[in-house]
Structure 1
Amino acid sequence: MSTSPLPRAAALIVNAHSRSGRDMFVDAKAKLEAAGVTLTEAHAVEDPDTLAATVRQAVANGAPMVIVGGGDGTLSGVIDELIGKTCVFAILPLGTANSFARTLELPLDLDGAIAVIANGTPRRVDLGMIDDDYFVNGASIGLPALIGETVPHGLKRYLGRVGYLLWALRCSIRFRAFRLMIDDGTTERRMWSTEVRILNGCYHGGVELSDNADVESGEIVIQAVVGRSRARLAADWYAKFFRLRDRHAHTEEFRGCTFRIETTPRLKISIDGEVLAKTPAIAKIAAQAVEIAVPVTPIAAR
């Protein structure tokens, strides 16, 4: 296993519109420089729509490493700019759930994340794809997409995961089960479902949902909550949140490289917290697609 050092120069780009970004930018800049990381440029980006262009320009400017501060949606929105590049991608987890950082076993505090950037190692990891859109951690169909599409930004910003839970309870009143079809190219499965999770990493919404999803496996995991009962969906989230022994009793998992997913009715797809696609869709893995800054200690076997 390679433990080569990370570049000592980097561009810092923070989503100042994220929950913690505006407050963290100045601290992050000072602490990175104190840790020996030379910042070739630093940007606190107020408009999330310009984040991808800012990362693209930093890569074009020759930054050997780009450090992005934000949540899973921010990371997913800029990751396309690193595909096929030699630039290392480093993360400051400043979001609500920070699922991708949890999957990579990155510290969730600012000092710990900076220590990884200063002393860690680069590692190639997988990305997921919905049609032609890359994502870092997970996509979902069902209630999470409804929540992601309608949750007020202020609720998310100030209450974090608690705000998501409160809004989820509100949305669940009008949510209904759907017919699901999953086709891996050889076998087609049909079932009723209340939620589908398309996982590159084991965490989604800050909760560990799968024991099998792994960013170094070369496969994507499709996890379906089976049946028509909303109570069963709530029980599944409860069991997984508290890591109960029977936490996988209500789900069925499929592993592979490529899946076609259809629903009746057609439903929107939340990709790393942002509603960006709609069924039918192709879910697939992009193996070893990007080089990420991780701790020197190996990612634990799942």
Structure 2
Amino acid sequence: MAQTTPMRLRLLFVINPVSGGKKKADPETFIKNYFRERAEEVHFFMLDGPQQSLTAVIKKIAPDRVIAVGGDGTVKMVAEELLGKDIPLGILPTGSANGMATELCVPADWEQVLHLICNETPAEEKHIDLIRVNKKDVCIHLSDVGLNALLVKNFEQRGIRGKLGYALSSFKTLWQNKRLAVRIENKDLQLTRQAHMIVLANARMYGTGACINPDGDLTDGLFEVVILRRLSIPELLKMLFRHRPFDPAKTEILQASQVTIYTRKKAHFQIDGEYRGKINEVTASILPKALKVIVPAPPPSADS
């Protein structure tokens, strides 16, 4: 009986070369060495290279899989390119914040990731939800209004990467931050709150490991609106160094498929770790099963 020849995968790696800072190893060299004697067809797109459209490159190459090499910002950018396309997204995490990779149980080890991409270790293609923000943007992970968005702004200005940069920025942020007067509404609810921070949560955890949305599910067709009524220095530091949920006595969580958030005064806003300026209105709606991602396959059950 003739053996079936395995499909030769055509892979496109989208690399953010500055992700994670200057001390990071070179992912392009690592990937080239991994595939040096393999059959896969490998292509690269550098985000700091000549101004060539990623959309055009994807159309020209027609890859079987596109792999985002970077942090959450890179993953978000590539995910937006793959909306409406039946092309799975892989993640090779190299950023200072790799929240989405952590959420999807993608290994931090690059060789293990490439094994997954090439089906050498058990993998599956999983459809996950995204959030449409302000009708034109996409959130893959977590967006928020208030304190953490101001922290992101201060972090970007400070220029020190990693948890140390977040920690140093957090103290400046607390001095600047005040509670917001907010109104949250959709067809089923209308409520007003005083809060330090409002989160649109597609996922459960920030890239630091802080669990903001313990029951979040990327596949349930809903997102969560997390209202942090009060946030102290210990709570903010928990965002950086601890994996336990926030104090439930100071936190309120609502599920929704669509919501609009209004703030009385303009407030800081971020999407997936990218600061977007000050706003006084945010709209959000779910995009169910909008993105196909490559993740480790679940272990076989005891009954199988």
Cα distance in 2 for partners of 1:156, 1:109 equals 23
Structure 1 window deviating more from structure 2 (186-195 vs 245-254): it is: 245-254
Q: What corresponds to 2:167 in structure 1?
A: 165
Partner-residue secondary structure (3-state), 1:266:
strand
Q: What corresponds to 1:148 in structure 2?
A: 152
Q: What corresponds to 2:55 in structure 1?
A: 56
Cα distance in 1 for partners of 2:128, 2:266 equals 31
| Superposition TM-score, scaled by structure 1 size | 0.85
Kept in 2: contact 1:15–1:22 (CA 8 A): no
The alpha-carbon deviation at position 14 of structure 1 amounts to 0.5
Partner-residue secondary structure (3-state), 2:26:
helix
* Alpha carbons of structure 1 residues 25 and 192: separation in structure 2 relative to 1, 3 Å: same
Cα distance in 1 for partners of 2:297, 2:36 equals 21
Q: Larger Cα Rg: Structure 1 or Structure 2?
A: 2
Kept in 2: contact 1:219–1:256 (CA 8 A): yes
Partner-residue secondary structure (3-state), 1:185:
coil
Kept in 2: contact 1:266–1:279 (CA 8 A): yes
| 1:43 matched to 2:42 | no
Cα distance in 2 for partners of 1:250, 1:37 equals 51
Alignment of 1:62-141 (within 5 A): 62-119=62-119, 120-131=123-134, 132-141=136-145
**1:43-94 deviations in whole A, cap 9, x for unaligned?**
33326x95xx643123212112111101111211232211111221111111
| Length, aligned pairs only | 284
The alpha-carbon deviation at position 268 of structure 1 amounts to 2.9
* Alpha carbons of structure 1 residues 33 and 235: separation in structure 2 relative to 1, 3 Å: same
* Percent identical: 22
Residue ranges of structure 1 left out of the alignment (5+ in a row)? none
Whichever residue aligns with residue 217 of structure 1, its letter is D
| Superposition TM-score, scaled by structure 2 size | 0.84
Structure 1 window deviating more from structure 2 (143-152 vs 88-97): it is: 143-152
Q: What corresponds to 1:250 in structure 2?
A: 250
Q: What corresponds to 1:224 in structure 2?
A: 227
Alignment of 1:177-192 (within 5 A): 177-192=179-194
Structure 1 window deviating more from structure 2 (145-154 vs 133-142): it is: 145-154
Q: What corresponds to 1:236 in structure 2?
A: 235
Whichever residue aligns with residue 123 of structure 1, its letter is K
Q: What corresponds to 2:32 in structure 1?
A: 29
* Alpha carbons of structure 1 residues 32 and 154: separation in structure 2 relative to 1, 3 Å: farther
Determine which of 217, 230, 234 is the counterpart of 1:214: 217
Kept in 2: contact 1:141–1:268 (CA 8 A): yes
The alpha-carbon deviation at position 100 of structure 1 amounts to 0.5
Cα distance in 2 for partners of 1:245, 1:80 equals 29
Whichever residue aligns with residue 99 of structure 1, its letter is G
Whichever residue aligns with residue 58 of structure 1, its letter is V
Cα distance in 1 for partners of 2:124, 2:175 equals 46
Cα distance in 1 for partners of 2:202, 2:159 equals 27
The alpha-carbon deviation at position 237 of structure 1 amounts to 3.8
The alpha-carbon deviation at position 171 of structure 1 amounts to 2.0
Cα distance in 2 for partners of 1:7, 1:83 equals 24
Cα distance in 2 for partners of 1:238, 1:167 equals 11
The alpha-carbon deviation at position 26 of structure 1 amounts to 1.1
Kept in 2: contact 1:22–1:44 (CA 8 A): no
Q: How large is the Cα RMSD of the aligned pairs?
A: 2.5
* Alpha carbons of structure 1 residues 76 and 246: separation in structure 2 relative to 1, 3 Å: closer
* Alpha carbons of structure 1 residues 63 and 154: separation in structure 2 relative to 1, 3 Å: farther
Higher helix share: 1
